[in-house]
Amino acid sequence: MSATTTPMLRRLAAEEATGALLCDTGTLYLHGGRVVHAESPAAPGVDVLLTACGRLTPDDWRRAVDRAGAARRVGPFLVETGQLTLGEAELIHLAAIYDAAYFVLDPADGPTRFRRGAAHWFGTVRPVDAGSLERETRRRRDLLDALWPVPQTDTAPVVRRTLPQAPPVTRRQRAVLDLADGVRTPAAIARLLGRPAFHTLVDVRRLTAAGHLDTPRGPYPTAPPPFPAWAGAVAGDPDTALLRRLRDALETRL
């Protein structure tokens, strides 16, 4: 975790602060010390996740922002008007928060500052405990490193390789391969597919480890470490169970 962002987040959580924690890689919004929204240029926003899966049309989204954005209540408005169920709103919003937080809490981020009183126009749907957010971000980073221990893969343009005997890929991975043109980064591919960036990073690292993808940023290790047993285990705490349900629900729609 970052040497600056994480201690500040912990301190703000302890103070039950309200406002925006800003750094080079994105922003965390807090209310009463809990994270109520997160955004990063590297992660698709709630709008992309909702419209890409067809749950809302772009026009539906724009109307909601026009009507409730100034009051900072777009999320609650979508639920109150019946356009989303509360469960749907929570799942999509949590996906966006955890996705963006992975980049906001990047160990290599730059200066951090806090803007007290700032609030995001989406509003509060499902607050997240700061400690849970840190733990999940750490878990995701460890999982990616276990798949392919080269973090540069997350930000470099990726290009598809032609293999004489290519290992099989899933339908989701095929969609990533089809967009790997040597110019697009994983973040750009995630946005085009309307998928959470972390899901795309998992696919990219697996495809790179299998030899399907390459990137101009090398050199790479000849083989990744074995996939650890703990990575697929379901922990018993409610935060992990919620995240598993979130992932399963999103994958049925994306």
Q: Which helix (H) or strand (E) holds 39?
A: strand 34-39
Q: Do the domain assignments include residue 184?
A: yes
The percent of residues above 70 in pLDDT, for the chain, comes to 82
Contact criterion met (CB below 8 Å) for 124 and 68: no
Phi and psi for 30 in degrees, rounded to 5?
A: -115, 150
Averaged pLDDT for residues 114-137? 96
SS3 20: strand
CB 24 within 8 A of CB 109: yes
Kindly report, residue by residue over 52-66, the tens digit of the pLDDT. Answer: 989 999 999 999 999
* Same domain flag for 72 and 154: no
Full-model pTM:
0.82
Do 80 and 185 reside in the same domain of the chain? no
Of 18, 229, 240, 19, the closest CA to residue 115 belongs to 19
Statement to judge: residues 85 and 14 lie in one domain? yes
39 vs 4, higher pLDDT: 39
Nearest to 32 by CA among 117, 125, 135: 117
Residue 168 shares a structural domain with residue 55: no
Pair (87, 179) in one structural domain: no
The answer to whether residue 253 sits within a structural domain is: no
Residues 170-199 pLDDT 10s:
999 999 999 999 999 999 999 999 999 999
The pLDDT of residue 62 is: 97
Please give the residue range of the domain that contains residue 33.
Answer: 5-129
Q: Is residue 241 part of a domain?
A: no
Residue where one domain finishes, among candidates 83, 101, 129: 129
* Ramachandran sector of residue 16 (left: φ over 0; alpha: ψ -120 to 50; beta: rest): left
Structural domain total, the chain: 2
Residues 99 and 208 in one domain: no
